[in-house]
Structure 1
Amino acid sequence: MPKIRVLVVDDAVLVRSRVSKILSSDPQIEVVGVAANGRIALAKIPQVNPDVVLLDVEMPEMNGLETLAALRPIYPHLPVIMFSTSTHAGATATIEALSLGASDYATKPSNLGSVEAANQHIRQELIPKIKLFGAGIPAVSPLNAMIANAVVLPISKKTAPVDVVAIGVSTGGPNALATLLSEIPADFSVPILIVQHMPPMFTKLLAERLSSKCKIPVEEAVDGVPLKAGQVWLAPGDFHLIVQRQGNQVCLAVHQAPPENSCRPSVDVLLRSVAQVYGARAIAVILTGMGQDGLHGCQCIREVGGQVLAQDEASSVVWGMPGFVVNAGLADRIVPLEQMAGEIMQRIHPVQRSGL
C-alpha cells in the first residue's frame, strides 16, 4: 500500500523536526512537507499533495483557524488534524477549529517529565488518527473478536418510561453534539449525560460553547450535584462520570479510577452506572467516534431492558463506536444524526395513534 502523505504545519522548528521524525518512523507514513505557517502550507498543498494535514493552532502570519477557513473551500475533503497546546487559548481555538471543519485534534505533550514520554505521547496521539483519516482504515470490522464474541440480544420493546438519556461520543463529537442538542426543546423532561472523549479544559469550553447554542443548559459535571430534568452534564476531562442513588435523589459523581478502553472519561463506565441506577428507564445513544468504548456499556443497558440508539455510518465522521454497537446487535435503531433528537423525543413521549 502507498504510504500516507502528511504535511506538518507548525511555527516551531523543534516541533516540526520532532513530529516529522516520529511520524516517519512508522512504515505506513511519509512526511512529504513542512511549513512554518498557514500561508506557506496553503502554497505547499498542491505541490506535495498530502493525504493529511497536521495543523498547529497558534502561528504567525496565518494561524491555524485562518488557515483552516482558507483551506476548506478549496479542499473540502482533505483531512486536517489540529495539533494544539493544552492551554486555555489552545483549547478555545481547537473547539472553534472543529466547528470550522477540522477532522480531529491532538494535544501537544506538556510536563511529561522526559523526552521519551513526550515522544510516546506524540506517537499515541497522532499516528492512529493519521492512519484512520489518511488510509481509510475501517474504524470497525464485523470480524473483530469482540464483535464475534458479543452477546446479541433481541431488540427491546419500548415499555418502560424514560428517565435519563446517556450519550457517548468521540471523534466528530463536538459538531455532532451541537447538531443533536440544538434540537432539544427547553421543556425537555429528563436529564442528559454525555461522555465526550476530551482532555481537561477542553470539556469545560465545549460545555460552554454547546450551552450558548442550545435551548437547555449544558455544564461540565460536578461531583455530588443532583440530576434534574432539562439539564445536560458533560463528563470532565480526565474524570469518569457516573450516577449514584442517594436517598430519593440521583446524583452525579466523578472519579479517577483507571482508564477503560484507554479512555477517561469512559462511556462504558457511565453506562454501567446508568444501567444499575435506572434499569429499563434509560436510553443510551452512541454517536460518531473511534474505538469501541460504549460497547459493553450498551450491553449492560440492554440486559436491564433499556434502549440503545446508534448513529448511522453515513452521518458519522468515524463509524467506530456506533459501528461496534450495531454489529454486536445491541442497537434498537440506527439513526442519522439529523434525526437523532426527534428519535429520542419520540421514545420519551411516544405519539399516541388512535386505532393502533
Structure 2
Amino acid sequence: MIPLRRRSLFAGLVAGAAATQRAAAAETVHVGVSGPLTGPNAQYGAQWKDAFDLALAEVNPTAQRQIQYVFEDSQSDPRQSVAIAQKFANDQRIVMELGDFSSPASMAASPIYQRAKLVQFGFTNSHPDFTKGGDYMWSNSISQAEEQPGLADFAIAGLGKRRLGVIHLNTDWGVTSKNLFAAAAKEKGAEVTAAEGFLPGERDFRSTLVRIRDSNPDCIVLLAYYADAATIVRQIRTLGLPQAIVAVSSVYSPKLLELGGEAVNGVHVITTFFPDEPRPEVQRFVAAFRAKYNREPDTFNATAYDTMILASTLVNQYGATRAAVREGLAKVRGVPSVVFGTMQFDPNTRRVEGARYKRLVVKDGRFTLWS
C-alpha cells in the first residue's frame, strides 16, 4: 500500500503530466489584434493586453484549441490599420481579427477584411455604421445610436436639465455621436445651446469652453475619452461653467479619477460595466484582475476580457477557420460575459444583444451608483 504522502505526490505528478500532455496535444489558433500600443491612445492597447492575458490564462489551459494573439500597433491611425488589415488578410494563420480601437481606424480597414472573409470584431467600435461595412463586421460594443438617447435621458429626465452644451471629439465617431445626441435631446424637449469639437491631442480647451459658457447652458455634455475628459473638466471648473456634467461611457475609467482629481467630483457617467456590481461574474473578474494587476478594471478591460473569452468559445465550439468563426457568431448563445451576463448577437445588426446601462456619479473621488 502506498503511504498517503507518497500517494499525494504521485497524484500531483500524474495530474501535472496529464496537463502537460493536454497542452502538447492542443492546437494553437491565432487571432490578429489591430490597436494602439504607441501614440496618443497607447494606454488603451495596454489595457487590452492586460485583459487578453488574464482571459487566456483562464481558458487556454483546458481548451483543445488554445488562442494566441498577434498584436500589431496601429496607433489607431486609419493608414496604419489598413496596412495591418492587408497583413492579416494574407496571413492564413489568422482566423479572426480584433480591433481597431477607434471606429474610423476600423472602418477604413473593413473592406479588406470583408474581401478576405475574415471577421473584423470591433469590440470598442460604437459608430453605428461600423457593422454596416459587411457581414464580416461584428461588435459587442453598444452602438452610439443606442447610447446617445440614453445619455440624453440621463441629462434631461434624470438631472432635469434643458439647456445642454456639448463638447465632442472632432472625429467621425465624435461628430456622429454629437448628431445622435442632439436629435435625441430635441425629441425629449431640450435644446443644445452649443456644440464644440476638439481635435485629438488638444490640451488647451479654454476658447472652446468660453464659447460653450456664452451659450448659457445648464449642463455640459462630454463626448470624449477619459484622458481628454479629465483635462476638460479641470478647465471647466476654472471658468464658471455649470456644475452639472454628464459624459458618455468611454469616459468611465478609474483613470478619470486619477487624472482629474477633485475636479471630477460630480461628473455623471453612463456605463455598461461597474466593478461594484454584485453579479458573481463581475466580482470574480474584478478579484482576478486586482490580484494580477493590483488595480481596478474599467470598461475597456472588461470588454477586452469578454472578447477573448468569446474568441476561445468560437474556435473551440465551431472550428478554427475563418468561415467557422463567422458562422459561429451568428449561432452562439449564452457566452459568459462580465459586461452583459451572457453574450449573443443579432445576426442582422451583428451587434451584441441585451445592453444594460448603469448611471454613475463621482462622489468623494469614487464612482458610485446614481439615484
- Report the TM range for the smaller structure's normalisation: 0.3 to 0.5
Structure showing greater relative contact order (alpha-carbon pairs closer than 8 Å, 6 or more residues apart): 2
Q: Higher helix share goes to which structure?
A: 2
TM-score (norm: length of structure 2): 0.35
User: Who wins on radius of gyration, i.e. which is larger?
Assistant: 2
TM-score (norm: length of structure 1): 0.36
